[in-house]
Structures are given as structure tokens and as C-alpha cells.
Amino acid sequence: MSDTKHDQVVRVPAAEERSGLDRFFKVSERGSTIRIEIVAGITTWLTMAYILFLNPQILGFAAVPDL
């Protein structure tokens, strides 16, 4: 017997309403939107950029015991 959720509904727009990106990546079938995916990508990029600049500073302070 499979474990399924009957109370969850995923709405998929008609094929003529979907964009090319949506059709290619099947975003709406997974319960998301193109806007949400773009915002998530920007957030991930900004987080990685922050880490790339902050991490060397943190490691630099770890090497100097008097700071």
C-alpha cells in the first residue's frame, strides 16, 4: 500500500498558460512558480557571495590569537 496525502491539491495551469521555462522545468507541477524560483536563486547567490567574502576574514582572525 502506498503512502499518499489526499488533502493536498496541486493546481497545474493549462498548457497554453505556462511559459517555456515552466514547461521545461515543470515548475508548476512541483507546486512552485517561476517568481518563487527566481527569488530563491537570487537569495542563494547573495548568500554564497556573502560567505565568499566573510569566510577568509573569519579564518584570518582564527590565526591571530590576540584578536
Over residues 20-64, the pLDDT tens digits come to 888 899 999 999 999 999 999 999 999 999 999 888 888 887 777
pTM of the model: 0.59
**DSSP H helical ranges for the chain:** 20-25, 34-63
In this predicted structure, the answer to whether residue 66 has a pLDDT above a threshold of 80 is no
* pLDDT for res 40: 97
* pLDDT for res 44: 97
Confidence of residue 67 (pLDDT cuts 50, 70, 90): low
